[in-house]
Amino acid sequence: MAHIPPPHPDAARRLVSVRLFQSARTGLLAVLGFLGPLAWIAPAGSPPELGGGALVWADDGDGDGDSGDSGGDDGGDDGASSAGSQGGDSGSAGVDSAPARLTAAWLGSDEHLPNELLALNPSSAALAYARLQTGVEVIETRNLRALNLRVVRLRLHGVQAQATLQRLAAFEDQTFALQHLYAVAQAPAAGAAAARSSEPIAAFKQSIGWPAASARCGLRQVIGIVDTAVQLAHPSLRGAQIRSQHKLSPGQSSVEDDHGTAIAALLVGQPAAGYTGLLPRARLLAAAPFYRLPSGHSRADALGLAQSLDWLVGQGAQVIGMSLAGPRNAVLDAALERARARGVVVVAAAGNGGRAAAPAFPAAHPGALAVTALTPAQAVYRRASQGEHIRFALPGTDLPTVGSAGTLQRRSGTSYAVPFLVAMVSQSLHERSLSAPQWFSGQGMALQDLGAPGRDPVFGWGLPQITPLCR
């Protein structure tokens, strides 16, 4: 009989280790399979949706980051003028009743919340893996029904967002994203404008071929903005058809800023109030996702932007203005793509980072119309961002805009060019003089070339030349 030596002790230990690893792996997979279905089930008695945190970088400033508070918030849930009000529930699950205080991690153009991540249409296995491997917890789930998107907001504990994102991306790519912040970078007003007249922006209307007496422009049109909260009782907006959505989550505090009111007045300011906007007869939907961080800065986050677009699309807005700029974000990208697929045109400000700045979003997204700002002499605004994504150039400097106190103030920034392009696109679509594909391609439309021949990174295709009938 052959002699069989006993197994070496090291070999026995290796065998035990392999079996323990296999057992642990089997157990982990079992736990993932068990927890997966539970990832989307809200505990009984979960509080209702409390509003999305949104952090936005409105770009009407001097490109220096943030010169103070510029957000915009009316402190309530929703407000309305003429058209009533609506809360706009998107549905949520697993809302944290006491979220941690928010602090912004400033990383230049990649500003984000350091203790949050987002998950876009995640699988249950991906969420379970994130919980087990990184210790994240679900704060809330947003069901953006109009855009057919589901976004899960996650809280991190003691780990860096960027490193955690890289780790999770290895498990399921293109699912997880940073909670990017977008901030109003508004420059101080240049000073009081000239004495009020019934047409404070008449010269700017004339420069684009818009009817000086535009009282009937905007009839039977629905437009939207994503901005700071609109002061619905402002004298220039008395009689305007405005519906607003504004919500804050626990731990978020409201801010005071008149940027959104200035943009709204440029669009739907009322003749009887002494400030005739570009589309005074239009119905304006105003989404206000701004809130104040503990640092005192006003911000809106990527989730809030996506939720704002979802509400606006669901309410029937055909053209949406986003006078803000910030980093690229997968959740915002998806929202823009879905809005475009629904036939909605999004107009976005080029940004005020200067010609050397990285492309700002949402303007740089192919599903948005990027607009830069012109001076009265038709030169480009000196702080405007530039790039191959710029499509059009419209007035945006030294504009007499309304302030919170009812006075006129001259302001500049690419964000103020947005309402001019919103008005042009909306009126032309309504009159069927131009189509959305034409606005995106620049084909078949009259244009005043302002820079190098053809489309260029400073002025895009130039200044659109349209003559609205406004009947």
In this structure, are residues 326 and 303 in contact, taking their beta carbons and an 8 Å threshold?
no
Q: Is 415 assigned a catalytic role? A: yes
Task: Determine which one of 59, 73, 74, 227 is catalytic.
Answer: 227
In this structure, are residues 266 and 295 in contact, taking their beta carbons and an 8 Å threshold?
no
Using CB atoms within 10 Å of the CB of residue 306, give its burial: 0 to 12 exposed, 13 to 18 middle, 19+ buried: buried
Task: Determine which one of 112, 234, 259, 430 is catalytic.
Answer: 259
What does the radius of gyration of the chain's CA atoms come to, in whole angstroms? Answer: 25
Residue located via tokens 């704060």 = 139
Q: Is 70 assigned a catalytic role? A: no
Q: Which of 157-170 are b and which e, b meaning 16 or more Cβ less than 10 Å from the residue's Cβ?
A: eeeebeebbeebee
C-alpha pair distances (Å), 320 with each of 379, 409, 423, 464 = 26, 24, 10, 18
Q: Is 227 assigned a catalytic role? A: yes
Task: Give the type of residue at 267.
Answer: L
In this structure, are residues 211 and 205 in contact, taking their beta carbons and an 8 Å threshold?
yes
Task: Determine which one of 90, 308, 323, 415 is catalytic.
Answer: 415
What is the separation, in whole angstroms, between the first and last Cα of the chain?
Answer: 108
Q: Name the packing angle between helices 161-169 and 124-134 (round to 10°).
A: 130
| Dihedral angle over CA of 387, 392, 395, 401, nearest 10 | -80
C-alpha pair distances (Å), 56 with each of 305, 323, 435 = 7, 9, 29
Catalytically annotated residues: 227, 259, 415
